[in-house]
Amino acid sequence: MKLENVGVSDKKSIVQLSREVGWDYSEEDVEEVFKSGRMVGHRLDSGEVISSAALFPYGDELATLGVVIVNPAYKGRGLGRELVESVLASKGERSILLVATREGKPLYEKMGFRETGMITKYIASTFHPAQIQHELFLAPMTYEDIEEVAKLDTQAFRGDRIEMLRARYERSISAVVLRDSLGRMIGYGMCVQGSVHRVAGPVVAPTAYEGAGILQELLGRGEGSVRLDTSTDDEVFHKYLDEFGFEEDSHSPIMVLGEDVLAARNGMLFALASQALG
């Protein structure tokens, strides 16, 4: 068994590994991970990948840690700690954010992570457009918008996610930008098709009202269930989600190693790209 870098040629193995722990990763999800960060895993002599962990560097000050999986048949051997130590070795001076599972939280606490917030996962079996129309200056996102989107996203997320945003745009089934009356970009949103649900995120907006308007534009014309992960405690936004037909599915703690960057955010991040990507 070797701990080594895992690449795009292993994407089917990572999808299968995610199935072993009840996660719903698609090949497109895994490809997006490889475009946005670096993954390591334990590989058996047979070539089978039986663990994974990925680090997503977002500039010089922040990275997220995700896709931390150990095949249940190999648990209890310290592989999880080896994975996390391996990816953290390349973090430099960056603070690290992650969304912890119940099983993983004790390990992260032992490694110095502390809880700093909470993610709420929402599912809508059917999206119900609001009866009141949001009068906003919304337009389809183009590839030429990505650099401006990334600058706005950096203000909301506190990290430079331009490579992840490019990868997310490339697979999006809908993507919009919000501008003010002077044409300045003040919000954006993207939606991709996952293996089970449409996934709405990221969504960045000045207030919950605009965030809800972006969601309505992203999701109102499509079909099928929708997943949305949010870290906001904005009660107005949660009320909009309820009106759209979303129901709370689960809660997971956000943990940080280093500076608590969540405290420095401006409140404009209303939906995550994913729990791994932030």
pLDDT tens string 87-97: 999 999 999 99
Domain coordinates in residue numbering, the chain: 2-116, 122-271
What's the average model confidence in pLDDT over 121-125?
A: 98
Q: Residue length, the chain?
A: 278
- CATH class given for the domain over 2-116: alpha beta
The span from the CA of 141 to the CA of 204, in Å, is 13
Q: Tell me, what's the pLDDT at 264? A: 80
Q: Tell me, what's the pLDDT at 133? A: 62
Whether the predicted pLDDT of 266 surpasses 70: yes
**DSSP secondary structure code for residue 73 in this structure:** G
Q: Pull the structure tokens for residue 186.
A: 């003040």
Residue ranges of E strands in 180-266: 185-193, 198-204, 226-230, 247-257
- One-letter amino acid of 26: S
Contact predicate 245/128, CB 8 Å: yes
- CATH class given for the domain over 122-271: alpha beta
**DSSP secondary structure code for residue 133 in this structure:** P
Q: What is the CA radius of gyration of the chain?
A: 18
Same fold for the pair 2-116 and 122-271: yes
Classify residue 102 as exposed, middle or buried by CB count within 10 Å of its CB (0-12, 13-18, 19+): exposed
* Confidence grade of residue 63 (pLDDT, cut at 50, 70, 90): very high
